Amino acid sequence: MQWLNVIIQGVLVGGLYAMFAAGLALIFGVMRLVNIAHGDLIVLAAYIALLATESLGINPLAALVIVAPVMAAIGYALQRGLLNRTLGDDLLPPLLVTFGLSIIIQNGLLELFTADSRRLAAGDIEVASFPLIEGVSIGVLPLLQFAAAVAVIGGLQVLFYRTALGRAFRATSDDPAVAQLMGLDNRHVFALAMAMSLAVVGVAGVLLAIRTNFDPAIGPARLIFGFEAVIIGGLGSMWGTFAGGIILGVAQAIGAHINPGWQVLAGHLAFLVILAVRPEGLFPKVQG
């Protein structure tokens, strides 16, 4: 019974990890860019939510309406203004520039907000829970967060496969030169993809901020969780990434149950095992 509880908690937090991963996977799919500042941008979103709730006095969940568009705008500007210049055959520029960005965001947040741990208060919903079966209860908030993750990933799937924008993303990803010849402005398409990725990051950041304490330094760990979820799930499939997040969450929950200090380590080990045994991931889609 205890184990069922553990697994359920793991699955629910896995939804959050899947959201971290979805933003990463999206931009890698469209423009072969891995954003090392991804985790720090999640933390940035959390701090923006903090500012919004403190200055406007609104509930953190309501702050989503502000944070997501703000992050999307930041994403568009970031890609158009800076990251588009790094794209090309050479691997070093985007990697080093996003690494530099990560350091800048971390230290900028440190200067503005200090290293103090913060948290967004969402009210009674934080502790509300309902019993599922004998001895097992599910928190309302974690369930909401999981539902949000499903909605986000589902939304991204629909976007990619049923809309004109998604078509544009896939075409540009396949062949950027010919996409230009069909009238797609790559600079704009890439910027939209980054905007989308950061909108997801925005949602993830708000949910993270409600769920746990955060400070400027926790970004890299979120990047790593997202990255591990992508590798476990396999590149090229949104639902695969989702499954990867769930598996990571469950691995961490099992590790934490055995010994609280082993939580994160258990996740890393699960990642390394998958890397050793099935490097293409559990649900890879064959992709060029």
Binding site for another protein (CB under 8 A): 28, 33-34, 36, 82, 85-86, 91-97, 99-104, 107-108, 110-111, 164, 167-168, 170-171, 173-175, 177-186, 220-221, 223-224, 227-228, 231, 261-262, 264-265, 268-269, 271-272, 275-276, 279, 287-288
| Residue 115 Cβ vs another protein, minimum distance, rounded to whole Å | 9
Nearest CB to another protein, comparing residues 1 and 181: 181
C-alpha 34, offset from chain centre: 12
Q: Which of 40, 18, 58, 28 is nearest to 103 (CA)?
A: 40
Residue 241 CB, nearest approach to another protein (Å): 14
For residue 22, which of 167, 159, 120, 171 has the smallest C-alpha distance? 159
Please, which residue, 57 or 260, has the CB nearer to another protein?
Answer: 260
- In the bound state with another protein, the residue whose beta carbon lies nearer, of 210 and 254, is 254
Q: How far is the CB of 287 from another protein (least distance, A)?
A: 8
Nearer to another protein, 213 or 259 (CB): 259
As measured in angstroms, the least distance from the Cβ of 152 to another protein is 22
CA atoms of 51 and 45, how far apart (whole Å): 10
Query: Closest by alpha carbon to 116, among 217, 37, 41?
Result: 217
User: Taking a C-beta distance cutoff of 8 angstroms, is the pair 278, 230 a contact?
Assistant: no
Q: CA-to-CA distance for 254 and 3, rounded, in angstroms?
A: 8
